[in-house]
């Protein structure tokens, strides 16, 4: 067996391991962050949960750190009270980005991790089976239910050679995106193997596994080997180590190979992680902002290499260089090493630990001015600027460009490649983490809910017949950032669905909320890979609140497809993609016999266009009931 099959088989609760079929997995750990966490806590309340049943559940406050009014702090108070009530670890603002912080404190090889964040897959760097899903699925997992996913094909990526100077882990995943695009990993689980693994640290692997989400993959996994042991020893957690590797004769459903020694610095152009070219092909483009940080480049090394490149030098006068540390631990070690001083003397701005610009919370670039970022995503408008120009690159390319004021291949600087030595034992900062209360004490905790915190909307069952106007028609690769933006304007309303609705599809068509309210029940038509990107279930709940009943698309991204079912929205695909051209915004569709078609898996016809769905029996029951919460309330299971 390969490692992916070993991990899945050891946690299989329902189904069989046949690619394309639905399976249920036992969940050991759960991760939520504040942009998704408020909904998860409201869902736990709606489920009447007494206490979480996973081995570990952790809530991180890392996304919305701009306390520009009272709503942000109100959400944090609510989250902390819910953690105390339900038995969840609480990581307060400034403690760190969820993925590297979870890796440092809770990551254990061989465990399953369900996370209400699409980049949960980063924990695959430690040999975990870590899957990003919607918040409701994490709530159900915390309540002791299996995590349901489609059994993926296992994509074996063999790594050979060794990275040359000035090429790093970010260039490895950018190479896969260059080859396969943002949907190349759909219905696949990526397993990295081969002789080059020993050259990649656990945090290098985190960079690569993290951006498997940008490939559309279910998750990514690396073996748990000596480099993982080295990481756990540095954290003082060597006892959590277990060796986990594929069998010597293991095979894969799909195979690929990357010779690390043949790679060069790469960069993703605006506005897709899949729009990858060599840095030298883009060289000379003027740069006005460079941001280093995020869960995609979160390691000590990723910041230290920038500090060494800048040591004794000055950032170009037109460039704003922003440094976003990813955990208290990493900030402490950067400070001890003198890296923070080097960055400050070079002209960098040091920000608090958190996601910040990655989720559009501050650091918005100027219109039409290039911003280079060591981030995982550059979808249109995600930065907080409507007409942005965001590029994705490695820390080395980011630092080189900050020095010159233009996109620059770091090999062309004429500098010696910096040597970065990480401490054998890192700073251990555990005090800010607030552990779960004993159950007797937890039962006495009341949830702290300010007026700004709403409740889950009541969702009605799917009717047998619907007449629906097509309120919106969109193209390929529409992201959840475009469906339901985050950022400094919208994210403070994340716990109030009615208020958040005003921002729906604002990046694409800001008239949608008004037109959707006027239309009532309606449909949306989309292209390929509809709903790529973030796991935020707001992208399903908010349009559903505005009347969305059916989305018709050429294909769907995995997490959003499941989120639609979770909240009773019927996701239909064209039997023939040419049907997309036959439907227009403003058309009125008549859908009859819906309930039987959903129950039996039969085809549905709308205006002569044949449609079908891929819902499992479990998902069909959900959609018919009006969503998972409605189903639980009606049936008790």
Residue 201 sits in the same domain as residue 345: no
pLDDT at residue 53 greater than cutoff 90: yes
* CATH number of the domain bearing residue 144: 3.30.499.10
Domain termination site, one of 238, 262, 286: 262
pLDDT at 602: 85
Per-residue pLDDT reduced to its tens digit, 214-269: 999 999 999 999 999 999 999 999 999 999 999 999 999 999 999 999 999 999 99
Q: Tokens 């889950």 correspond to what residue?
A: 456
Residue 536 sits in the same domain as residue 628: yes
Please state the rounded mean pLDDT for residues 297-307.
96
For residue 35, give the 3-state DSSP assignment: helix
Q: Examine residue 454 and state whether it is found in any structural domain, yes or no.
A: no
Q: Examine residue 443 and state whether it is found in any structural domain, yes or no.
A: no
Q: Tokens 């097509």 correspond to what residue?
A: 470
Please state the rounded mean pLDDT for residues 357-371.
91
Q: Examine residue 432 and state whether it is found in any structural domain, yes or no.
A: no
pLDDT at 636: 60
Residue 516 sits in the same domain as residue 386: no
pLDDT at residue 634 greater than cutoff 80: no
Q: Examine residue 426 and state whether it is found in any structural domain, yes or no.
A: no
Give the C-alpha separation, 136 to 563, whole Å. 8
Q: The sheet that has 89-91: what strands, in order across it?
A: 89-91, 56-60, 29-33, 112-115, 129-132
Indicate the pLDDT class of residue 458, thresholds 50, 70 and 90: confident
Per-residue pLDDT reduced to its tens digit, 380-435: 989 889 899 999 999 999 999 999 999 999 999 999 999 898 888 998 887 789 99
350: left (phi over 0), alpha (psi -120 to 50) or beta: beta
pLDDT at 291: 98
Please state the rounded mean pLDDT for residues 279-307.
97
What percent of the chain has a predicted confidence (pLDDT) above 70? 100
CB of 244 closer than 8 Å to CB of 229: no
Domain range for residue 596?
Answer: 466-635
φ and ψ of 283, to 5 deg: -55, 140
* CATH number of the domain bearing residue 594: 3.20.19.10
Residue 246 sits in the same domain as residue 309: no
Q: Examine residue 487 and state whether it is found in any structural domain, yes or no.
A: yes
pLDDT at 489: 82
Residue 239 sits in the same domain as residue 324: no
Residue 57 pairs in a beta bridge with: 30
Prediction pTM value: 0.94
Domain termination site, one of 396, 412, 428: 412
pLDDT at residue 455 greater than cutoff 90: no
Chain centroid to CA 312: 36
Torsion angle in degrees (nearest 10) through CA of 516, 517, 518, 523: 30
Q: The sheet that has 12-14: what strands, in order across it?
A: 12-14, 22-25, 147-150
b/e map 531-557, b = 16+ CB within 10 Å: bbbbbbbbbbbbbbbbbbbbbbbbbbb
Residue 517 sits in the same domain as residue 480: yes
Residue 32 sits in the same domain as residue 169: yes
Residue 392 sits in the same domain as residue 505: no
Give the C-alpha separation, 241 to 220, whole Å. 19
Nearest to 551 by CA among 574, 568, 569: 569
> Hey, which bits of 466-527 come out as E strands?
466-473, 522-526
Q: Examine residue 343 and state whether it is found in any structural domain, yes or no.
A: yes
pLDDT at 361: 85
Q: Examine residue 66 and state whether it is found in any structural domain, yes or no.
A: yes
Per-residue pLDDT reduced to its tens digit, 494-514: 888 888 999 999 989 999 999
Please state the rounded mean pLDDT for residues 545-563.
96
Please state the rounded mean pLDDT for residues 524-528.
97
Domain termination site, one of 204, 228, 262: 262
Residue 616 sits in the same domain as residue 519: yes
Q: Examine residue 375 and state whether it is found in any structural domain, yes or no.
A: yes
Residue 246 sits in the same domain as residue 296: no
Residue 256 sits in the same domain as residue 110: yes
Query: Per-residue DSSP letters for 233-285?
Result: HHTT-GGG---B---TT---SEEEEEEGGG---EEEPTT-TT-EEEHHHHTT-
Residue 211 sits in the same domain as residue 303: no
How many domains does the structure of the chain reveal? 3
Nearest to 101 by CA among 304, 331, 307, 425: 331
């Amino acid at each position: 067996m390969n490692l992916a099959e070993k991990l899945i088989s050891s946690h299989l609760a329902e189904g069989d391991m046949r690619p394309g079929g639905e399976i249920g997995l036992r969940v050991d750990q759960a991760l939520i962050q504040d942009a998704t966490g408020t909904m998860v806590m409201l869902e736990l309340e709606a489920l009447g949960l007494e206490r979480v049943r996973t081995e570990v559940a952790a809530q991180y406050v890392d996304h919305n750190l701009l306390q520009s009014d009272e709503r942000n702090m109100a959400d944090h108070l609510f989250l902390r009270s819910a953690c105390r009530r339900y038995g969840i670890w609480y990581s307060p603002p400034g403690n760190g980005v969820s993925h590297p912080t979870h890796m440092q404190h809770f990551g254990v090889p061989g465990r399953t991790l369900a996370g209400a964040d699409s980049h949960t897959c980063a924990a695959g760097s430690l040999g975990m089976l870590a899957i990003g899903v919607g918040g409701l699925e994490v709530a159900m997992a915390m309540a002791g239910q299996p995590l349901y996913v489609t059994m993926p094909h296992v994509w074996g990526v063999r790594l050979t050679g060794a990275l040359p100077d000035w090429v790093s882990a970010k260039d490895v995943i950018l190479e896969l995106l260059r080859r396969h695009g943002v949907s190349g990993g759909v219905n696949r689980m990526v397993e990295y193997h081969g002789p080059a693994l020993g050259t990649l640290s656990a945090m290098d692997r985190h960079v690569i596994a993290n951006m498997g989400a940008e490939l559309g993959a279910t998750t990514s996994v690396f073996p748990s080997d000596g480099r993982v042991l080295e990481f756990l020893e540095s954290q003082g957690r060597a006892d959590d180590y277990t060796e986990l590797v594929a069998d010597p004769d293991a095979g894969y459903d799909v195979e690929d190979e990357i010779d690390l020694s043949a790679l060069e610095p790469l960069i993703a152009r605006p506005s897709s992680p899949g729009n990858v070219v060599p840095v030298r092909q883009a060289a000379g483009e003027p740069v006005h902002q460079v941001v280093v940080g995020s869960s995609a480049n979160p390691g000590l090394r990723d910041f230290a290499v920038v500090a060494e490149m800048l040591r004794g030098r000055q950032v170009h006068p037109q460039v704003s260089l922003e440094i976003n540390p990813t955990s208290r631990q990493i900030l402490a070690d950067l400070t001890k090493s003198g890296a923070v001083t080097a960055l400050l003397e070079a002209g960098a701005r040091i920000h608090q630990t958190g996601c910040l610009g990655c989720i559009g919370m501050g650091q918005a670039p100027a219109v039409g001015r290039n911003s280079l970022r060591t981030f995982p995503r550059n979808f249109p408008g995600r930065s907080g600027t409507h007409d942005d120009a965001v590029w994705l690159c490695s820390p080395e390319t980011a630092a080189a460009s900050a020095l010159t004021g233009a996109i620059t291949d770091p090999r062309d600087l004429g500098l010696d490649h910096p040597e970065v030595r990480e401490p054998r034992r890192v700073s251990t900062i555990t005090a800010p983490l607030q552990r779960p209360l004993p159950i007797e004490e937890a039962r006495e905790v009341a949830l702290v809910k300010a007026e700004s915190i709403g409740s889950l909307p009541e969702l009605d069952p799917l009717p047998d017949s619907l007449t629906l106007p097509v309120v919106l028609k969109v193209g390929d690769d529409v992201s959840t950032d475009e469906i339901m933006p985050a950022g400094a304007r919208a994210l403070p309303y994340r716990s109030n669905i009615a208020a958040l609705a005003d921002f729906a599809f604002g990046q694409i068509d800001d008239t949608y909320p008004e037109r959707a309210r006027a239309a009532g029940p309606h449909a949306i038509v989309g292209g390929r890979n509809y709903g790529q990107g973030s796991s935020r279930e707001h992208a399903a709940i908010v349009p559903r609140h505005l009347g969305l009943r059916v989305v018709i698309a050429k294909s769907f991204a995995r997490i959003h497809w499941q989120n639609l079912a979770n909240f009773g929205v019927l996701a239909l695909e064209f039997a023939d993609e040419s049907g997309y051209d036959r439907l227009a915004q403003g058309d009125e569709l008549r859908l009859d016999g819906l309930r039987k078609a959903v129950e039996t898996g039969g085809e549905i016809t709308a205006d002569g266009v044949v449609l079908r769905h891929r819902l499992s029996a479990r998902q069909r029951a959900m959609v018919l009931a009006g969503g998972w919460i409605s189903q639980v309330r009606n049936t008790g299971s």
